Amino acid sequence: MEIINHNFTEDGRVNLKVYIPDKSRELHDFPRPMVLIFPGGGYGFCSDREAEPIALSYNAAGFNAAVLRYSIAEHSGYPAPLADASKAVKFIRDNAESFHTDKDKIAVCGFSAGGHLAAWLGTKWNDKEIQKAAGVENDENKPNALILGYPVISGREPTHNGSINNLLKSVPDEEKESVRNLICCEENVGEHTPPAFIFHTADDAAVPVIGALNFARALSRNKIPFEIHVYRSGSHGLSLANYVTAKSKNSINADVEGWFDLSVKWILRTFNFPPEF
């Protein structure tokens, strides 16, 4: 396993950690898809439970993986996290050959607030203001697929107010409504939005499932391929929903645990991977 660390800020506050499995004569040598992970944390922190364990699981499934520690807390104001995500996608695409990655098979995978960041990138990657802030052009920052775990979707009620407040806190009052329009992912889906895999639980008490349903409806309306799984019951922040990422017994859910294998199959279908041997 090769692990590459790249800092986007001098203090290492915004950091990309890339996990590349070793090559072997016993394994195929196709450039792999990359899964870029955005941990959740309400834009106040980045959850370790939704970071490296997810990356290593996707490595074991045959993909390259990376974790972005994006702008949070006092640095989380609009548009900083989205600029960070854009830079990360461009960095992976620019280094695709050395990362043994197919530059046209980059999926972003986010959880909770990280799910908002992934959906936000999927709907606003082509925003000229964002591209200027990130130093990217054309489709250098466009993800090829979205994986959204119990995502914050909307900038309006019902939503996770803590996440949205962290994004809006540095925005002047007179500009808040216009910026809120830009961070409402369900309102910005279009033909430019990549395919999406979504999972959520119906009784999530922290992030209302209606956001995921509205995002799926917007994808359907725009004829964007998607797959959505809504599980009957499960607390917020389940991550892999197994003992690997469990912080308590409530974090283990045998039904929800199935999302990961379903996402792997979805990635393989969406990216038509692997190519024929």
- Tokens 């980045």, residue located: 46
Rounded average pLDDT over 115-120: 99
Mean pLDDT of the chain: 97
Q: How many structural domains comprise the chain?
A: 1
Spatial separation of the C-alpha atoms in residues 93 and 136, rounded to whole Å: 11
Indicate if the pLDDT at residue 166 is higher than 80: yes
Indicate if the pLDDT at residue 276 is higher than 80: no
Residue 29: per-residue pLDDT? 87
Rounded average pLDDT over 181-193: 98
Q: What is the CATH number of the domain that holds 243?
A: 3.40.50.1820
Residue 109: per-residue pLDDT? 99
Residue 262's pLDDT band (cuts 50, 70, 90): very high
Percent of the chain with pLDDT over 90: 96
Residue 248: per-residue pLDDT? 93
Structure tokens at 167: 């994004």
Residue 79 included in any domain: yes
Residue 275: per-residue pLDDT? 86
Residue 53: per-residue pLDDT? 99
Tens digits of residue pLDDT in 5-38: 999 999 999 999 999 999 898 988 899 999 999 9
Indicate if the pLDDT at residue 277 is higher than 80: no
CB atoms within 10 A of CB 91: 22
Residue 276 included in any domain: no
Strands (E), the chain: 2-7, 15-20, 32-38, 64-69, 101-111, 145-149, 196-201, 226-231
Residue 239: per-residue pLDDT? 98
Spatial separation of the C-alpha atoms in residues 8 and 106, rounded to whole Å: 19
Tens digits of residue pLDDT in 48-102: 999 999 999 999 999 999 999 999 999 999 999 999 999 999 999 999 999 999 9
Residue 23: per-residue pLDDT? 87
DSSP collapsed to 3 states, 158-173: CCCHHHHHHHHCCCCH
Rounded average pLDDT over 140-163: 97
Residue 67: per-residue pLDDT? 99
> Percent helix, strand, coil in the chain (nearest 5)?
35, 20, 45
Domain span holding position 240? 2-270
Residue 236: per-residue pLDDT? 97
> Global pTM?
0.97
Residue 81 included in any domain: yes
140 contacts 125 by C-beta, under 8 angstroms: no
Residue 218's pLDDT band (cuts 50, 70, 90): very high
Percent of the chain with pLDDT over 70: 100
Residue 27: per-residue pLDDT? 87
Residue 210: per-residue pLDDT? 98
Residue 181's pLDDT band (cuts 50, 70, 90): very high
Residue 275 included in any domain: no
Residue 213 included in any domain: yes
Indicate if the pLDDT at residue 40 is higher than 80: yes
